[in-house]
C-alpha cells in the first residue's frame, strides 16, 4: 500500500531519517517506536506528504505521493498530528465535520451521510456528549479523542496517527486501542501509529517499526522486535522477559 524508498530527511545539518526503505502492507497495524527525536513524527509527516523528503520518495499504491492532488490523497490517508485543535471557535462537531471535506464539493453543505459518519465517529470515541463544546472547554484527553474522531470520520483506508494516546488516561488509552484494533480487523484499515507504550504495542500492534538514530533497527513482529536487548539498545532501559511472556521493565540506575 505505502512504500518508502531510500527515504532521508534532514533539518539543517541534522539528519533525522537516513535512507529508510520499507513497505506497509494493506491491512497491517504498525507501531512506530523509538526514543524522542528518533524521527517518528518526521517519518509520519513524510508518509502524509506534509514534509518533502530530502532524498528518496514515498509511493502510495505504486505512485509517487507527490503525484496525488491533496483531495485525492485525503481520500486515501488520514493523518492525526500532535498539534491541538484550532483556537478559533469551532465546536467538536464542526471540527469532526471538517474531515468530510475530501468528499464534498466546494459549495456543498454536509449531506445526511456526512452527518451519520460524524455522529458515529464521535460516538466511537465517546465524545458525542462534547459535540457542542469548544476545544478550550475540553481537557487535553477529550481534545485528543475529538481529533481521533475527526481522523475516523475521514474514512480512509490508511490512517497515520502520531501519538494518538498522548494526554489520555489509562482507561481511554485501552478503549482507543481496542477501537483501533477493531477498525483494523473488521474494516481492514491499515494503521501506522507512533507510540511510546511498549506494553500497548505488544498487546495491540502486530507489526513494529523500531527506529534508532534515524534508521530502522527492526521491522517485523512486535513481540519479536521488542526483545530485552533491543529495548536496552533503543531506550536505554533494562527489560526482562519472563517465561510466561511478561515483559518487566526497570530503569537503569544512574550514577
Partner 1 sequence: MNRQRLCPIVLLALLCLAALAGCSLLGATHLNWHELWQSEIFWHLRLPRELLSLLVGGVLAACGTAYQAVFRNPLTDPYLLGVSSGASLGAAIAILLGLESYIYGVGLCALASALLTVAIIYRMASTGNRLHTTTLLLTGVCLTLLISAAVSFLMVMNHDKMDRIIFWTMGSFASSNWTDIVVMTPVTLIGLSILLYHGRNLNLLLSGSDTARSMGVEVERVQKTILAITSVMVAFAVSVCGVIGFVGLIVPHAVRLVAGADNRKILPLAVLSGGLFMLLCDTLARTLFQPSELPVGSLTALLGAPLFITLLYRNRKQY
- Residue 154 or 207 having the CB closest to partner 1: 154
Task: Report if residue 245 touches partner 1, rule: CB under 8 A.
Answer: no
Q: Cα separation of 57 and 49, whole Å?
A: 10
State the minimum distance, in angstroms, from the CB of residue 25 to partner 1: 22
How far apart CA 14 and CA 26 sit, in angstroms, is 32
Does residue 95 touch partner 1 according to CB under 8 A? yes
CA distance 169 to 172: 5
Pairing mode, if any, of strands 215-221 and 207-212?
Answer: antiparallel
243 is a site residue for partner 1 (CB under 8 A): no
User: Could you tell me if residue 133 is left (phi over 0), alpha (psi between -120 and 50 degrees) or otherwise beta?
Assistant: beta
Binding status of residue 73 toward partner 1 by CB under 8 A: yes
Per CB under 8 A, does 85 bind partner 1? yes
Within residues 107-126, the interface with partner 1 by CB under 8 A covers: 107, 109
Q: How far apart are CA 19 and CA 9, in angstroms?
A: 8
CB of 69: closest distance to partner 1 in angstroms? 7
Residue 154: all three cell numbers together: 475521514
Binding mask 144-183 for partner 1 (x = CB under 8 A): ----------x-----------------------------
34 near partner 1 (CB under 8 A): no
Helix (H) or strand (E) holding 159: strand 158-162
For residue 21, the tally of other CB atoms under 10 A from its CB is: 12
Residues that bind partner 1 (CB under 8 A): 45, 48-50, 69-75, 77-79, 81, 83, 85-86, 88-90, 94-95, 98-99, 101-102, 104, 106-107, 109, 154
Amino acid at each position: 500500500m505505502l512504500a518508502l524508498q531510500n527515504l532521508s530527511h534532514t533539518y539543517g545539518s541534522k539528519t533525522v531519517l537516513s535512507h529508510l526503505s520499507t513497505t506497509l502492507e494493506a491491512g497491517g497495524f504498525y507501531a512506530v517506536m523509538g526514543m524522542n527525536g528518533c524521527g517518528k513524527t518526521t517519518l509520519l509527516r513524510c508518509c502524509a506528504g506534509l514534509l518533502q523528503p530530502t532524498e528518496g520518495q514515498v509511493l502510495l499504491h505504486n505512485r509517487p505521493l507527490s503525484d496525488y492532488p491533496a483531495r485525492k490523497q485525503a481520500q486515501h490517508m488520514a493523518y492525526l498530528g500532535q498539534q491541538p485543535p484550532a483556537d478559533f471557535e469551532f465546536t467538536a462537531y464542526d471540527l469532526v465535520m471538517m474531515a468530510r471535506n475530501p468528499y464534498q464539493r466546494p459549495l456543498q453543505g454536509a449531506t445526511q451521510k456526512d452527518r451519520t459518519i460524524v455522529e458515529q465517529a464521535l460516538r466511537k470515541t465517546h465524545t458525542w456528549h462534547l459535540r457542542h463544546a469548544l476545544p478550550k472547554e475540553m481537557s487535553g484527553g477529550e481534545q485528543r479523542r475529538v481529533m481521533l474522531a475527526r481522523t475516523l470520520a475521514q474514512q480512509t483506508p490508511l490512517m497515520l496517527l502520531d501519538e494518538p494516546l498522548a494526554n489520555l488516561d489509562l482507561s481511554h488509552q485501552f478503549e482507543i486501542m481496542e477501537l483501533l484494533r477493531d477498525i483494523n480487523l473488521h474494516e481492514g484499515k491499515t494503521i501506522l501509529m507512533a507510540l511510546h507504550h511498549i506494553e500497548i504495542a505488544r498487546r495491540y500492534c502486530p507489526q513494529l517499526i523500531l527506529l534508532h538514530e534515524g534508521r530502522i533497527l527492526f521491522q517485523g513482529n512486535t513481540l519479536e522486535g521488542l526483545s530485552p536487548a533491543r529495548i536496552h539498545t533503543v531506550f536505554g532501559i533494562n527489560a526482562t522477559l519472563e517465561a510466561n511472556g511478561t515483559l518487566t521493565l526497570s530503569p537503569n540506575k544512574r550514577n
